[in-house]
A and B are shown apart, each in its own frame.
Chain A
């Protein structure tokens, strides 16, 4: 018969007993911290990488709830000039030539790990935040639009018009380039969801899933492991944080 021995040295014992202590004494505190995210005075951490999984099988052609929600959330107005109007997220329709099967794809900033927009920015206004969100620092942006030319996803827009009545959490102005910021103000306030994903869930499509790609226990990581997903223009080696199913 096999004899089981309990092999614990001093260090192991201390480690395991302290972990047990945390989970038994203060489970409430621990879970509360997870639910509320980081504190307001705590900077974004590189332990997290925010990303999205878009299931095009559940996205319909007629619905544009994500686009409307994004525009409302950030106060993006329509000036009736479709070639220059700002768009942070847009709906695209892809049709297969052989089968004529169409799919609808929401397209926005893909939050690349190696973003071309950051490479080409002459002032350092385009940058990646520690948690993987690609942003424009509008205090440093000079509106040269090199980033717009370099982006393979056409994700960025230049503000051509004078704006008024901007929302306090979404400062926007003429002469700056902007794009999807993964609702960074919501993330910083611990909501950990984006306006587009919320709207999609509300409409019952559940096509957009937002979450932490570095957390193996998050829904998004589990789905990425379970299903075949694609990166748009994976040939460019940008390692995007927005992945697609069904394209």
Chain B
């Protein structure tokens, strides 16, 4: 069983590695809400390589210990990185226009965070609709 899992991991990494030329920072969609802040919580190369580690650590701290710091919170990422598309709605997590899905679809690395977590900023939607005041 472990052999099969390690093979899968190896295959995924090699796929990501060899197709790396097409997944560059430049040709990925960058639909960031600049009004939310000037820069990310860490430099881009660190975020690109380690965002999942920060998020896993944060999820443990929040769920188990009750620590709710904003810096590495997934909601904080979403609030900055997800910006409305042309028609004013937020992109679906299934589309490449979604900041996370842009890379994850290209790298064929399935992102499961949004099976449970909100994939769109909530407060901004609430303001537009006006009825979901939270």
Could you say which of B66, B75, B120 contacts A44, with CB atoms under 8 Å apart? B66
| A42 interfacial contact with B, CB 8 Å | yes
Q: Which chain A residues (48-69) contact chain B, with CB distance < 8 Å?
A: none
Q: Does B63 contact A (CB under 8 A)?
A: yes
Contact A137 B63 (CB under 8 A): yes
Is the C-beta of B70 less than 8 angstroms from some C-beta in chain A?
yes
A165 part of interface (Cβ distance < 8 Å): yes
B62-95: CB near A (< 8 Å → 1, else 0) gives 0111111110000100100000000000000000
Report whether over half of chain A's contact residues are helix, strand or loop; otherwise say mixed: loop
- The answer on a CB contact under 8 Å between B66 and A166 is no
Choice from A135, A168, A174 contacting B78 with Cβ under 8 Å:
A168
How many chain A residues have a CB neighbour from B under 8 Å?
29
Within residues 132 to 147 of chain A, which ones have a CB less than 8 A from any CB in chain B? Answer: 135, 137-139
Name the segment of B15-23, B42-50, B110-118 touching the other chain.
B110-118
Q: Is the CB of A189 within 8 A of B68?
A: yes
Q: Which residue, of A41, A44, A127, A171, has the highest number of chain B Cβ atoms within 10 A? A: A171
A40 at the binding interface (Cβ < 8 Å): yes
CB nearest neighbor in A for B92 = A164
Q: Does A211 contact B (CB under 8 A)?
A: no
CA A8 to CA B61, docked complex, whole Å? 45
Interface membership of B13, Cβ < 8 A: no
Residues of A110-138 whose CB lies within 8 A of B: 127, 129-131, 135, 137-138
Q: A137-B63, A139-B63 are in contact. Are A166 and B68 (CB under 8 A)?
A: no
B68 & A188 in contact (Cβ 8 Å cutoff): yes
Residue in contact with B117 in the complex, picked from A44, A129, A171, A176, CB distance below 8 Å? A171
**Chain B residues, CB < 8 A from A237:** none
Least Cβ–Cβ distance between B123 and chain A, in angstroms: 8
Residue numbers of A with Cβ under 8 A of B are: 40-44, 127, 129-131, 135, 137-139, 163, 165-169, 171-174, 176, 184-185, 187-189
Taking Cβ atoms with an 8 Å cutoff, the residues of B that contact A are 59-61, 63-70, 75, 78, 115-118, 120, 122, 134
Given contacts A44-B66, A129-B65, A173-B115, 5 further A-B contacts (CB under 8 A): A40-B67, A43-B67, A166-B116, A172-B116, A188-B66
Q: List 29 A-B contacts (CB under 8 A).
A: A40-B68, A40-B70, A42-B67, A127-B64, A129-B64, A129-B65, A129-B66, A130-B65, A130-B66, A131-B66, A138-B63, A139-B59, A139-B60, A163-B116, A166-B118, A167-B118, A168-B78, A168-B118, A168-B122, A171-B116, A171-B117, A172-B116, A173-B116, A176-B116, A184-B66, A185-B68, A188-B66, A188-B68, A189-B68
Nearest 7 interchain pairs by C-beta? A173-B116, A44-B66, A43-B65, A171-B116, A168-B118, A173-B115, A168-B75
